[in-house]
Structure 1
Amino acid sequence: MGTDHERRLIAGRYRLERRIGGGAMGVVWLADDELLDRTVAVKQLVLAAGLSEKEAEQARKRSAREARLAARLQHRYAITVFDVADDDGMPVLVMEYLPSQSLAEVRAARGALPPAEVARIGAHAASALAAAHAAGIVHRDVKPGNILLGEDGTAKITDFGISHAADDGTLTGSGSFAGTPAFLSPEAARGEKPTAASDVFSLGATLYAIVEGRFPYGDTENQMALLYAAAAGRFTPPQQAGPLTGLLDRMMRLTPSERPAMAEVAAELEKLAVPATERRRNRAVLWSSAAAVVLAAAVVGAVLLLNNRSDAQTASPPAPQPSSAARQPTASPTHAPASSSSATPPPTSSAPSAGTVDYVQFVRDYYAMMPGGTTVGWTKLSPAMQQNVGHAYYLRYWGGMSKFEVAVAPHQTGPTTVESVLDFVQDGIHYRELHRLTLSTVNGQILIDSDSSSNA
């Protein structure tokens, strides 16, 4: 595809508009999906030079297969693959278009980034990678050029397993390296099959580069020298990473089994993205708010007790109200007891406190991981909730979704309750439900205690 291919139609529906990127592994175009009237990114893979006809055919089939595998991943922090089309025998990827800069471009323009910002970007990427690993997908090419930063600061990872799919090995047939070795894990640099642990190392090397302002294996342009350094796992310990230092050290361990799982990385980066002083302030506000609620409840209870004593002959308990779950079937993983909805205090007209914002942001982040982020999502449930739901059912519930979006943003309706309206397709059936999450804070960590739902 060259510049003379502008306005060309691919697969009868994708009209090429202009070239927006490209490199050794392919060319990326901005295109118009004329069938669905939306803007997309279209990428044509470029096969390595020197392949025989048989090898080229195998590479094309392998590329299409891996693209379809990547298309299974639906995650807020991953660029979605919509379609795999054929263009004169060459597989073409049709992807979500995100107006953005790559992390490599941001690093080139700004130099080293602050640790908290790096942690936020890393948490987004790690969340998507954890979901990919849970789905059996290994990225194999995590690097700054494959992490996109949107205009709103959202980070999305792209090119799941595609860049390496066009060639069996790490080295091309001519003996030259396919891409930069600057972010390779030692085992991948030695020609071993990359695993999920390899992605952990590569993400660590990526975060190292943007927080330190230099590559972990040095800034030399000698690709083979970098490859040898990568194979040996030799890198200078970080000097500017601050609170990220310990995590980067674990992520970049020489032995793959000594590295944390990507879900652990995502959880730790999420915590590091918020400065410790702010976490302490939020916890203090949460406890102050909780104390105020307890005091208010005590006052109300005393008043009710006095009223009940004076009206003992006429007062009677209210008739029990059936829960929404009992009235109609729901796709919610769990149902809160009827008393939980009746005990929810009416919304107050006062401005939300910092604790309120914290709960709402937690729910936003939780749903942002779904439906693919079940590995991290499971850790957000309280032990009682986990026991009530069961891990197998939790995975089956979220895994059955082919579409998921938050139709009405999370908003707090009580001291520990947050409501949202979810719109999703599960096992081929469309649902639109109001979900009420009851939350608790244990040792500074917010957890989900229950999830009740009703048709919205």
Structure 2
Amino acid sequence: MTEVGALLAGRYRLERRLGSGGMGVVWLATDELLQRPVAVKQLSAAEGASPEVAEEARQRAMREGRLAARLHHPNAVAVHDVTEHDGFPVLIMEYLPSRSLSEVLAEKGRMTPGKVASMGAQAAAALEAAHAAGITHRDIKPGNVLLGDDGTAKITDFGISHAADDVSVTRTGVIAGTPAYLSPEVARGQSPTPASDVYSLGATLYAAVEGVPPFGEDATNSIALLHEVAAGRFRPPQLAGVLAPVLSRMLHVDPAQRPTPAQAAEALRAVGSGAPNPLPEPDLTQPMSRVEDTALVGAVDNGTRLDNAPVAPPRRSRRWIYLTAGAVTAAVLVALAFLLPSGDQQQQQQTASPAELERVVSDYYALLPEHPANAWTRLGTGLQAQGRSGYEAFWSSVSEVQVVEPPTVTGRNAVRIGIVLVMPDGTRITEHHQLGLRGARQPLIESDSVVDSSTSSPPPPPAPVEKPQPPNPGEHRPGKGNEHKDEPGKKGSDN
């Protein structure tokens, strides 16, 4: 058994254990040749594997390690060397003093959209470089994203620790990976692709900003969770704000509709800077990949088989929904009703959901007053007709915008919000606005009415404290030889 102080490959001295898992142990070590700290990852054979499978896994891990060593990117943990010890592969990697995203989320619960966008842009850039080098990660998740104290994000474990799992996949049909972060096509048994990495990164960012993965994280029933992932219908993000449209595209059930890593990185950087989302709209002329309803091929990490298990729709509140014959009939009638909508229903189909309307208004005021040019793009033609120069001039005169009453839908395409405008001199203008929006997809703000307004002036500056005035030169002061002038009965001089 390898212990502290052991020397591997004649140069790597083990200092202390950093962590361990099902695939091996990670050590902090010193490269005595180059005198630098490194992370040493010792891979081990899967428990219960036959000698034939273990040997194939060893060879695959060595190939994966050599391939990963070709990747050089500031946001990817570098693999410096690949060697063997006691017949098992050993990977020598860059040591980054950091915490994993999973550790950060365990402590804080979730992160702000701005920080998630910055982290995601860095991770997406690393994926772009990896895919260009022919490397697919296959297991992007919070545990494989490292965060440095300076805000640097790096992806680690580019498919290396699951090289042995891949051998099991080819032999037994077992799905390797973390169910909560798998793409729908991988959950259905298809091979991982670069588009699958983009989906897994989107799921990781979703978990960072929402606090939970898109389909939840049911460790007690990973098979049921895998069914939900395969169906591909997740709960829309509720806390992501301006980040939500980017996440939704990265989590598209159709791999062809997802952005490339380069497009995702650009969109995430834009969100972080307050710029408009540059991702194009999905191509609705292309058929969406169909969710297979025949079977989920394979199983999850624990080896449980899912042969001939039909894909079920996602659960609500973790309860399965079964359709009886009568319910099926009712579903058909509902479908026919949608095929023949009434006039009111046709109008409703052109209306965004209340949550979407409130999100649009929240995102709009989040851009102000720092980014009026970007906020301008959220306005419809009715408001833009009033002139951009005056619009930007007004917001340049405002120091801060505070939302004191969150946006609330009050009617069809109508949202009310309460704000405070803080002016440079400290004056606070409290206003309630009724906004009218238009459009079912990416609604724009078409009208803005001030319901009520009040102004509070800043408190007057404190009155200056009066300082004692120095005496005049001719003023009588004691001790100057003329004290007797004030004595009664004495006038003039003593003479």
1:197-216 equivalence runs, <5 A: 197-216=195-214
The DSSP-based 3-state class of the residue aligned with 2:265 is: helix
Higher RCO, 1 vs 2 (CA within 8 Å, ≥6 residues apart): 1
From the superposition, tell whether residues 279 and 10 of structure 1 become closer, same or farther in structure 2 (CA, over 3 Å): farther
Q: Note the C-alpha offset of 1:210.
A: 0.6
Quick one: distance in 2 between partners of 1:178 and 1:6? 31
Partner of residue 4, structure 2 = 6
Q: Flag the structure with higher helix content.
A: 1
**Contact persistence 1:170–1:189 (CA under 8 A):** no
The DSSP-based 3-state class of the residue aligned with 1:136 is: coil
Larger radius of gyration: 2
Worse overlay, 40-49 or 27-36: 40-49
**Contact persistence 2:120–2:205 (CA under 8 A):** yes
Aligned residues with identical type, % of pairs: 60
Quick one: distance in 2 between partners of 1:82 and 1:145? 21
The DSSP-based 3-state class of the residue aligned with 2:196 is: helix
The DSSP-based 3-state class of the residue aligned with 2:163 is: coil
Partner of residue 142, structure 2 = 144
Note the alpha carbon deviations across 1:217-267, whole angstroms, 9 max, x for none: 113222112212122213211111111111111111111111111110011
Q: Note the C-alpha offset of 1:179.
A: 4.6
- The CA RMSD measured in Å over matched residues stands at 2.2
**Contact persistence 1:80–1:95 (CA under 8 A):** yes
Partner of residue 228, structure 1 = 227
From the superposition, tell whether residues 89 and 258 of structure 1 become closer, same or farther in structure 2 (CA, over 3 Å): same
Partner of residue 194, structure 1 = 192
From the superposition, tell whether residues 86 and 109 of structure 1 become closer, same or farther in structure 2 (CA, over 3 Å): same
Note the alpha carbon deviations across 1:103-133, whole angstroms, 9 max, x for none: 0001111111110100000001000001111
Partner of residue 65, structure 1 = 63
Q: Note the C-alpha offset of 1:56.
A: 1.0
Which runs of 5 or more residues in structure 1 are unaligned?
A: 285-456
Partner of residue 406, structure 2 = none
From the superposition, tell whether residues 137 and 177 of structure 1 become closer, same or farther in structure 2 (CA, over 3 Å): closer
Quick one: distance in 2 between partners of 1:174 and 1:138? 21
**Contact persistence 2:56–2:167 (CA under 8 A):** no
**Contact persistence 2:140–2:204 (CA under 8 A):** yes
From the superposition, tell whether residues 217 and 6 of structure 1 become closer, same or farther in structure 2 (CA, over 3 Å): same
**Contact persistence 2:196–2:255 (CA under 8 A):** yes
Q: Note the C-alpha offset of 1:20.
A: 0.6
Which runs of 5 or more residues in structure 2 are unaligned?
A: 276-366, 375-495
Quick one: distance in 2 between partners of 1:218 and 1:174? 27
The amino acid that maps onto 2:80 is F
Note the alpha carbon deviations across 1:148-172, whole angstroms, 9 max, x for none: 0011110000001112211226769
Runs of 4+, deviation exceeding 3 Å: 169-179, 275-284
Structure 1 residue 20 and structure 2 residue 8: aligned?
no
Number of residue-to-residue matches in the alignment: 282
1:12-411 equivalence runs, <5 A: 12-168=10-166, 178-221=176-219, 222-276=221-275, 277=367
The DSSP-based 3-state class of the residue aligned with 2:181 is: coil
